[in-house]
A and B are shown apart, each in its own frame.
Chain A
Amino acid sequence: MTTQARIPSRKGARVTQRTLREWLIFVLFAAPNVALIVAFTYRPLLTNMYYSTLDWTLGSATATPVGLANYVEFFTNAESLGVLRTTAIFTVATVGGSILLGLGLALVLNRRLVGRGFARATVFAPYVLSGVGIGLVWLFIFDPTTGVLSAILRSLHLPVPEWFLQPNLSLAMVILVYIWKNLGYCAVIYLAALQAVPRDLLEAAALDGAGRAKTFTTIVWPLLSPTSFFLLMTTLLSSLQSFDLIRIMTPLGNGTTTLMYDAYLQAFGGYNRAGYSAAVSTILFVLLLALTVVQLRLIERKVHYA
Chain B
Amino acid sequence: MIDTVMRTPAEPAAAPTPPAPRAASRKSHPRHGSALDHESTLSLIFRGYVPLILATLIIALPLIWMMLGSLKTSGEVVSRDLVWLPGSPTFDAYLTASQKVDFPRLFLNSTLVTVVGAGIKVLLALTTAYALVFVRFPFKRTIFAGILVALMVPPQVSLLPNYILISGLGGANTYWGIILPGLGTAFGTFLLRQHFLSLPAEILEAAELDGAGHLRRLVQIVIPLSTPTIATVSLVTIVNEWNDYIWPLIITTDDQMMTLPVGLTLLKNLEGDPSSYPILMAGAVVVIVPVLIVFTFLQRYIVAGLTQGAVR
Binding site for B on A (CB under 8 A): 19, 22-23, 25-26, 28-30, 32-45, 47-48, 51, 104-105, 108-109, 111, 113, 115-134, 136-141, 143, 145-146, 148, 151-152, 155, 180, 184-185, 188-189, 191-193, 195-196, 199, 202-203, 206-207, 226-227, 230-231, 233-234, 237-238, 241-244, 247-248, 251, 260, 263-264, 267-268, 274, 277-278, 281-282, 284-285, 288-289, 292, 295-296, 299, 303
Contacts and interface: CB of A to CB of B under 8 A. Distances in A.
A193 B311 contact: yes
A242 B1 CA distance: 7
B124 interface: yes
Report whether over half of chain B's contact residues are helix, strand or loop; otherwise say mixed: helix
A44 to B, nearest CB: 3
Contacts of B170: none
Given A33-B185, A33-B189, A230-B310, A151 B48 contact: no
A28 B165 CA distance: 25
Nearest to B135: A26
A49 to B, nearest CB: 9
The 4 A-B pairs at the shortest CB distance, nearest first, are namely A36-B184, A44-B158, A44-B161, A29-B131
A146 to B, nearest CB: 4
A143 B150 contact: no
Interface residues of B, number: 107
Interface of B: 1, 4-5, 7-11, 16, 19-20, 22-23, 26, 34-36, 44, 47-49, 51-52, 55-56, 58-60, 62-63, 65-66, 69, 77-78, 82, 124-125, 127-128, 130-132, 135-137, 143, 146-147, 150, 152-162, 164-165, 180-186, 189, 214, 239, 242-243, 245-246, 249-250, 260-261, 264-265, 268-269, 274-275, 277, 280-281, 283-284, 287-288, 291-292, 295-296, 299, 302-303, 306-307, 309-312
- The listed residue with most A CB atoms (<10 A of its CB), out of B1, B63, B65, is B1
Q: Which of B147, B161, B280: most chain A Cβ within 10 A? A: B161
Nearest to A144: B274
A296 B152 CA distance: 12
Given A128-B302, A137-B288, 20 more contacts: A23-B136, A25-B214, A37-B146, A40-B162, A44-B161, A111-B47, A117-B23, A124-B299, A126-B63, A128-B295, A131-B1, A132-B243, A148-B82, A151-B82, A234-B4, A237-B7, A260-B156, A264-B246, A267-B160, A303-B11
Contacts of A121: 295-296, 299
Contact of A123 (B35, B59, B124, B245): B59
A137 B292 CA distance: 15
Contacts of B60: 122
A243 B243 contact: no
B288 A30 contact: no
Contact of B310 (A119, A145, A189, A281): A189
Contacts of B135: 22, 25-26, 29
